[in-house]
C-alpha cells in the first residue's frame, strides 16, 4: 500500500521506531508494550482479593486499584481526585475542622460539588490543603506499596462554578469569577499539578503519576500541553470515543489534534492510555466499535501505550471496576514496523503481523489493500478494494 505522509516530519517522527526506542526515564518505569494489545484496567473495586488472579497476564496496569501490591507483579496506582475529598471525610467534618478549605459557588451558599457527588470541594490553591492531600492520599499509599498515584477530575474549565471560600473569621474570599473559562482557575490547577508531581517524585525515585486529562478544544495549546505534560502517563478518559456520549467518535480536525498531542506526549517520554467508552451496555459493544478503538490504539502506540474498552451499566453509570476483555485482544498483530502515514484519505500503519487502518473522516472511503490475502480480527476474509465506513477502523491479518 503506497504511503503518502501529509503531516509535518516532526509530527510523524514521534511515531518512528527511533522515537519508540528513545522514550525517557518516565516511560521506562511502566510495563513495556513491545507487541500486540496491552490493557490498563480502570479500577478493580468489583474484584475480591480471591479474584485478583484474573488480572495476571491479561492487564499490565490498574488505574485506581483497590489493592497496593496484589496480584503479584501488577502495576497498581492509588486514586486521588485533585479538587475534592477522597471519600475520606464528610462535609460536616470539614465544616467543623477546616471550614476555610471548602469551595463555594458565587452565591456564597452553594458548595461547588462535582459530578453530582456530595464529596467536599476543596481549595486547591491553599498550601495547607495540598499538604493534607499529599500526606493522606499520596504519601500513605506509596508507603503501602502502590507504584504510582492516579489523579482524577483534572481540567482547564471551571465546570462546577467555583468562586471562593470563607476564611476562619467568616469573611468571603473570592478567587474566581464562577465562569467556565477563568485564567486564575487554570493557573491554580496547573500549579497544583506541578507541585503534586514534584512531591510524588520527591517521595521515591520510581513513584509515578498518572493524570486523567483529555484535550480541551476550547483552551490554548500551551495550557493543554502544560496540563497533559505534567505527568508520567496520561490517562485519556475520552480517548477516541468522546466519553461514550453520542456521536461517539472524533473526526476531522478534532481527531487530528488528538493524534498530534499523543505524538507530542510521546516525544516527551510520557506514556499514554486511550480509554474507549461506548454509550450502550458493555455486552452490546459491536465489533465495529471495538475495531475503531483498537485500530486507533495500534496507530498511535509506542513502547508504553495502553487501552481499555467498556460500556455503561443499566443504571447509567460507567462500567468500571471489573475486568472486561474481548477475544480480539489476542490478535497476533506483532510489532509496528513503521510510522503512521496517510494514504487514500485514511491513516495506516504497518505491523510485523499485519496492518492497522483508520478512517477518521465523516464519509465512506474505499481503500485498496496491500497485495496478498487478508482477514479481519475474527478471521473473516477482507477483499480489496475495501469499503471503510465513516469513523471506522480495521485490522488486517494475513489469511491462514
pLDDT range class, residue 26, cuts 50, 70, 90: confident
Query: How many C-alpha atoms does 58 have within 13 Å on its Cβ side?
Result: 16
Rounded to an integer, the average pLDDT of 93-107 is 98
Rounded distance, CA 50 to CA 71, Å? 10
Alpha-carbon distance 111 to 164, whole Å? 10
**Is 237 exposed, middle or buried, given 0-12, 13-18 or 19+ CB atoms closer than 10 A?**
buried
What digits encode the pLDDT tens for the residues 259-294? 999 999 999 999 999 999 999 999 999 999 999 999
Residue 186 has pLDDT above 50, yes or no: yes
| CB 133 within 8 Å of CB 95 | no
Please say whether the beta carbons of 319 and 310 come within 8 A.
yes
pLDDT greater than 90 at residue 61? yes
Please report the pLDDT score of residue 1 as a whole number. Answer: 52
List the domain boundaries for the chain.
18-331
Instruction: Supply the CATH classification number for the domain 18-331.
Output: 3.20.20.70
Q: What is the mean pLDDT of the chain?
A: 94
Which pLDDT value is given to residue 351?
98
CA nearest to 181, candidates 218, 154, 229: 218
pLDDT higher than 50, residue 163: yes
What is the pTM for the complete model shown?
0.94
Among the residue ranges 20-34, 285-299, 317-331, the one predicted with the least confidence is 20-34
CA–CA distance from 263 to each of 13, 83, 134, 308, 343 (Å)? Answer: 8, 28, 31, 19, 19
Residue-level pLDDT at 247: 86
Distance of alpha carbon 40 from alpha carbon 309, whole angstroms: 10
What pLDDT sits at residue 248?
84
Does pLDDT of 51 surpass 70?
yes
User: Does residue 67 contact residue 44 with C-beta atoms inside 8 Å?
Assistant: yes
The whole-number pLDDT of residue 318 equals: 97
Amino acid at each position: 500500500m503506497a504511503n503518502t505522509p501529509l503531516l509535518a516530519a516532526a509530527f510523524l517522527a514521534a511515531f518512528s521506531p527511533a522515537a519508540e526506542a528513545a522514550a525517557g526515564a518516565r516511560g521506562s518505569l511502566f510495563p513495556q508494550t513491545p507487541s500486540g494489545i496491552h490493557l490498563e484496567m480502570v479500577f478493580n473495586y468489583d474484584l475480591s482479593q480471591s479474584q485478583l488472579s484474573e488480572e495476571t497476564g491479561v492487564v499490565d496496569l490498574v488505574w485506581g486499584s483497590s489493592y497496593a501490591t496484589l496480584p503479584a507483579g501488577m502495576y497498581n496506582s492509588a486514586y486521588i481526585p485533585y479538587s475534592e475529598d477522597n471519600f475520606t471525610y464528610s462535609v460536616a467534618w470539614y465544616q467543623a475542622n477546616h471550614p476555610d478549605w471548602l469551595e463555594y459557588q458565587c452565591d456564597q451558599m452553594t458548595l461547588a460539588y462535582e459530578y453530582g457527588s456530595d464529596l467536599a470541594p476543596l481549595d486547591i490553591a491553599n498550601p495547607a490543603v495540598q499538604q493534607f492531600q499529599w500526606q493522606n492520599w499520596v504519601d500513605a499509599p506509596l508507603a503501602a506499596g502502590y507504584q504510582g498515584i492516579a489523579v482524577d477530575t483534572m481540567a482547564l474549565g471551571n465546570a462546577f462554578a467555583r468562586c471562593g471560600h470563607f476564611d476562619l473569621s467568616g469573611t468571603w474570599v473570592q478567587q474566581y469569577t464562577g465562569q467556565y473559562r477563568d485564567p486564575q482557575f487554570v493557573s491554580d490547577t496547573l500549579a497544583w499539578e506541578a507541585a503534586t508531581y514534584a512531591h510524588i517524585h520527591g517521595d521515591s525515585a520510581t513513584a509515578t503519576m498518572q493524570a486523567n486529562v483529555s484535550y480541551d478544544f476550547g483552551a490554548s495549546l500551551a495550557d493543554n500541553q502544560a496540563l497533559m505534560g505534567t505527568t508520567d502517563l496520561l490517562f485519556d478518559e475520552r480517548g477516541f470515543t468522546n466519553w461514550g456520549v453520542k456521536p461517539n467518535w472524533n473526526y476531522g480536525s478534532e481527531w487530528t489534534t488528538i493524534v498530534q498531542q499523543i505524538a507530542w506526549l510521546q516525544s516527551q517520554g510520557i506514556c499514554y492510555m486511550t480509554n474507549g467508552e461506548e454509550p450502550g451496555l458493555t455486552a452490546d459493544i459491536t465489533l465495529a466499535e471495538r475495531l475503531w478503538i483498537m485500530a486507533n490504539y495500534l496507530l498511535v502506540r509506542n513502547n508504553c501505550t495502553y487501552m481499555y474498552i467498556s460500556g455503561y451499566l443499566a443504571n447509567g453509570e460507567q462500567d468500571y471496576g471489573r475486568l472486561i476483555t474481548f477475544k480480539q485482544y489476542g490478535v497476533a498483530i506483532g510489532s509496528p514496523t513503521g510510522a503512521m502515514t496517510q494514504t487514500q484519505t485514511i491513516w495506516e500503519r504497518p505491523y510485523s503481523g499485519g496492518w492497522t487502518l483508520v478512517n477518521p473522516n465523516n464519509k465512506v472511503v474505499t481503500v485498496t489493500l496491500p497485495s496478498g490475502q487478508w482477514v479481519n480480527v475474527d478471521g473473516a476474509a477482507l477483499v480489496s478494494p475495501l469499503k471503510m465506513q465513516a469513523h471506522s477502523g480495521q485490522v488486517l491479518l494475513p489469511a491462514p
